[in-house]
Amino acid sequence: MKVAIIGAGWAGLAAAVTATQAGHNATVFEASNSIGGRARALKHLNNCTLPDATAITLDNGQHILIGAYTDTLALMRQVGLEPDQALRDLPMTLRFADGRGLQFTGWPTPLDALGGILGARGWSLADKASLLRVALGWQMNGFTCAASLCVADLCRQLAPRVQAELIEPLCVSALNTPADRASAAVFLRVMKDALFGAQGGSRLLLPRVDLSALFPDAAAQWLQQHGAQLRLGQRVTAWQPQGKGWQMDGQTFDAIVLATSASNAALALMNHAQTASESIAFKVQQWVAICQTLRFEAIATVYAWGANAHLAQPMLALRESAQQPAQFVFDRGQLGGPRGLLAFVVSACHGDRASLQAQVLAQAQTQLDLSLQAVQTVVEKRATFACTPDLQRPAMHIAPGLLACGDYIAGPYPATLEGAVRSGIAAAKALG
């Protein structure tokens, strides 16, 4: 089949690689001049340097992977990358600067989680017992719950310290939605796969390279080597039915896969519905209506530097409050970057860039005893959809020969790299 894939983020590239691997002829259209979508290096920041004049390449956000991201890791290998070299493999860790918190052991799954719980620093026996009791209940229920339940209600029987030092950081990092309005059903699915699923599923995989080098650049090179076309700086806003296929950009395609953001996909489809047949227009309008109910959360990454800045571990959890908004900090010097460069992550963030940056620098002084200089603050205003209870997400199939993929498409995962990759793979396999 001749397939047009609109969008060169992780979902679109996953769809293109999978389609090409299956023998289809894929053409990827990307409106911008860069690939990777919401997980890419900011290569347009020319002459970006640290205060000591060290040249650096920053990402548009600090991402992590885990061992349960099986499809993402397999796809990386497919395009010629070695995850062991590109990612630093660590046990699941939610430790704070004062040493409190949880770190899994090297035991087999799920004993690694059990060992981490029993050895959690700063937790009383009652704290640990509450988590073991509740986790056992989750397992007995098959890690399922009512779709209307939020994470805060799901975890009400946990000790306050466990909620504050484990559940809330895990929830906001995985779902980018605060626990009091995050879907408990999706949270349980993540917990099942990451903490109690496949061997090594809980392992933290922290990028040693920039996000473009982590997958998009290698995927683009692989696609070109295998006969696919990648057209950058080419925006697609309209297409027309042509027999059993579609006419677009002067070419005829058997199928179209929309791999753009939810808002861009909805806008393009609304334009298409105006000229489509009545039956197609109705399906498109239904899809757009569901898409428009999605709400979005922002993520800010504050890059800051100090000549002697060094963390006890590559990643530390932070205690969040209204005035200290960051939940995690990463030592980029331990992850292949320059010494002294730290990345602070503010998930589900609010407020303007300048205020967030000032608050995070103050938080670094208070919680890490570090006096830092701001390097760059990146705010992705629509980083993920708000993963709320009873959320209806758009389906992959829109109309015959017209599909969509992306981390917001209906599926078991929240807006993660693995969710995007799995959606792209599924769309390509649905081509036939």
Contact 37, 10 (CB under 8 A): yes
CA distance 119 to 99: 12
One-letter amino acid of 233 = G
CA distance 417 to 319: 25
Query: What is the per-residue pLDDT for 197?
Result: 74
Give which of 290, 298, 295 is closest to 404, Cα–Cα.
Answer: 290
Give which of 306, 307, 402, 406 is closest to 361, Cα–Cα.
Answer: 306
- The HSE-up count of residue 339 (CA atoms within 13 Å, CB side) is 3
Q: Which domains does the chain have, with CATH numbers?
A: 2-36+215-294+389-429 (3.50.50.60), 65-88+205-209+296-385 (3.90.660.20), 95-196 (no CATH)
> CB within 8 A of 65, min separation 6: which ones?
72, 73, 87, 204, 205, 206, 207, 417, 418
Residue 260 per-residue DSSP state: S
> CB within 8 A of 320, min separation 6: which ones?
168, 326, 327
Q: Between β-strands 2-6 and 240-242, what pairing exists: parallel, antiparallel or unpaired?
A: unpaired
One-letter amino acid of 431 = L
Buried b (16+ CB within 10 A) or exposed e, 212-227: bbbbbbbbbebbeeee
Beta strands across the sheet bearing 373-385? 315-317, 328-331, 341-349, 296-305, 373-385
Query: What is the per-residue pLDDT for 250?
Result: 86
Query: What is the per-residue pLDDT for 46?
Result: 61
CA distance 131 to 124: 11
For 53: left if phi > 0, alpha if psi spans -120 to 50, otherwise beta; the answer is: left
What tens digit of pLDDT does each residue of 57-93 get? 999 999 999 999 999 999 999 999 999 999 999 999 9
CA distance 187 to 72: 20
What tens digit of pLDDT does each residue of 195-242 get? 777 788 889 999 999 999 999 999 999 999 999 999 999 999 788 888
Q: Between β-strands 315-317 and 296-305, what pairing exists: parallel, antiparallel or unpaired?
A: unpaired
CA distance 28 to 18: 13
The one-digit pLDDT tens for each residue of the chain (432 residues) are 999 999 999 999 999 999 999 999 999 999 999 999 999 999 876 668 898 888 899 999 999 999 999 999 999 999 999 999 999 999 999 999 999 999 999 888 888 989 999 999 999 999 999 999 999 999 999 999 999 999 999 999 999 999 999 999 999 999 999 999 999 999 999 989 887 777 888 899 999 999 999 999 999 999 999 999 999 999 997 888 888 899 988 899 999 999 999 999 999 998 888 877 787 888 999 999 999 999 999 999 999 999 999 999 999 999 999 999 999 999 999 999 999 999 999 999 998 999 999 999 999 999 999 999 999 999 999 999 999 999 999 999 999 999 999 999 999 899 999 999 999 999 999 997
Query: What is the per-residue pLDDT for 47?
Result: 67
Residues in the chain: 432
Give the count of beta carbons closer than 10 Å to the beta carbon of residue 13. Answer: 32
Query: What is the per-residue pLDDT for 320?
Result: 94
